[in-house]
Amino acid sequence: MPTLMTETTSLPTPLGGTLVNRVRRPGHDFDPASLDGRPRIEISERTYADLELIATGAYSPLTGFVDEADYASVIERMRLADGTPWSIPITFPVTREDAARLSGTVVLTFGGQDVGTLDVQEHYDARKAWEAREVYRTEDAAHPGVAALYAQGDVNLAGPVTLFEVPRGAFPMHHRTPAEVRQVIEARGWRSTVAFQTRNPIHRAHEYLQKVALELVDGLLLHPLVGTTKGDDVPATTRVEAYEVLLEKYYPQARTLLSVYPAAMRYAGPREAIIHALSRRNYGATHFIVGRDHAGVGSYYGTYDAQEIFRTFTAEELGIRILRFEHTFYCQSCGQLVSPRTCPHDSSHHLVLSGTKVREKLRAGENLPAEFTRPEVAEVLRRAYTRAD
């Protein structure tokens, strides 16, 4: 159940006071010939996602990849050097060889195409073991976020960025910048909006949480993460299709907005929950749902660590209200979706399916229980797993 309720509020101020906009179009905002002869570097999919999130204001107040002072401050105390709450350093890692040749304005490429620039103001060594211990709470290379960190270059470049064009990708109808989401919220007259982060298809327990939250606020921003995830996560295209069929039949259209969140998944658990909340503030949300093991993986984090970490900051600092929910499930004896707060029965009465069990059933062509997921969603997933096999 949510532990915070609030009166209707207005659209929140972006973190730092201003929504950052570093989108600069060649031929409109500057002469592309000015980039001739500049050094170039091909960036990873995750760095491209970070570039977009910085340039469009999702990561306000960041205007570029963090310098060493912010890097150390974020790792050590979950704040930028100026004291602004921030929990994961957004860095631009390169090899030492690349660092030696990159200075001044560097053109960033993705898939061989120019996508933006980085004005290099600083080079500094990444402190990977320290970053892993503090941000991911482990140095275990089996952790996907730690593995990605260890695989990166050893030098971080810092400086302001520009993005040439917002990459709408595979979801042009649902890919909105923070400014565009804010425009929709304002146009619909929502004075309070709850955001829901997901990297998985929505099952009935998720639906229950979202609809309980909708009893408290004006609108729901369903904001699925569609950047890089683990190889065994459900692909973003399948997830978005599942959201579309679900919202069409079971959600109030005027009070729900599906818009994708282009971030890559870091699996940093509690620390990532903070970034997810702060960025949703920048998108215009007044409330953010944090459930069981938010952004977690394996057994690296406690069940409700991602809720407890928010107590590190004041409500004024966060600027977004956190709705804390306990584990929700279908109780066969209660005959409805419940939580430990409302259900008197032990686990033998509960319907709980692991992700592994769900995948096994789908691959075998079996039906998923209607108490677990809507049949329309199950059909989308079944088709996807049939194609994959």
pLDDT tens, residue by residue, 102-153? 999 999 999 999 999 999 999 999 999 999 999 999 999 999 999 999 999 9
Percentage of the chain lying above the pLDDT 70 cut? 96
pLDDT (average), residues 63-75: 98
Which residue type, as a one-letter code, is found at position 55?
A
Which residue type, as a one-letter code, is found at position 120?
V
In contact, 223 and 262? CB cutoff 8 Å = no
Residue 49 CB neighbours (<10 A): 22
| pLDDT for residue 200 is more than 90 | no
Q: Which range (292-296, 305-309, 340-344, 362-366) has the least confidence? A: 362-366
For 150-171, b where at least 16 C-beta lie within 10 A, e where not — what string? Answer: eebbebbbbbbbbbbeebeeeb
Which residue type, as a one-letter code, is found at position 101?
R
DSSP β-bridge partners for residue 324: 290
In contact, 286 and 320? CB cutoff 8 Å = yes
d(CA 291, CA 208): 12
Annotated active-site residue in 22, 137, 182, 199 = 199
pLDDT (average), residues 274-290: 98
In contact, 71 and 91? CB cutoff 8 Å = yes
In contact, 159 and 122? CB cutoff 8 Å = yes
Reported as a pLDDT band with limits 50, 70 and 90, residue 230 is confident
Based on the residue annotation, tell me whether 199 is a catalytic residue of this protein.
yes
Q: Would you call the peptide bond into 61 cis, given omega within 30 degrees of 0 as the criterion?
A: yes
d(CA 256, CA 91): 33
- Residue 389: the pLDDT is 56
CATH placement of domain 32-163: 3.10.400.10
| pLDDT for residue 2 is more than 60 | no
In contact, 156 and 91? CB cutoff 8 Å = yes
Based on the residue annotation, tell me whether 204 is a catalytic residue of this protein.
no
In angstroms, the Cα distances linking 237 to 1, 82, 92, 244, 385 are 31, 39, 27, 11, 12
d(CA 49, CA 236): 14
Which residue type, as a one-letter code, is found at position 287?
H
- Average pLDDT of the chain to the nearest whole number: 93
| pLDDT for residue 177 is more than 70 | yes
Which residue type, as a one-letter code, is found at position 97?
E
Residue with tokens 């974020």: 74
Output the six-digit token pair for 354: 């692991």
The fold of the 178-388 domain, in CATH, is: Rossmann fold (3.40.50)
Reported as a pLDDT band with limits 50, 70 and 90, residue 388 is low
Domains 32-163 and 178-388 share a fold: no
Burial class (CB in 10 A: 0-12, 13-18, 19+), 200: middle
pLDDT (average), residues 71-83: 98
- Domain extents in the chain: 32-163, 178-388
In contact, 181 and 160? CB cutoff 8 Å = no
| pLDDT for residue 186 is more than 60 | yes
Half-sphere exposure of 185 (CA within 13 A, CB side): 31
In contact, 194 and 286? CB cutoff 8 Å = yes
Residue with tokens 């599942």: 242
| pLDDT for residue 53 is more than 70 | yes
Annotated active-site residue in 168, 188, 191, 200 = 200
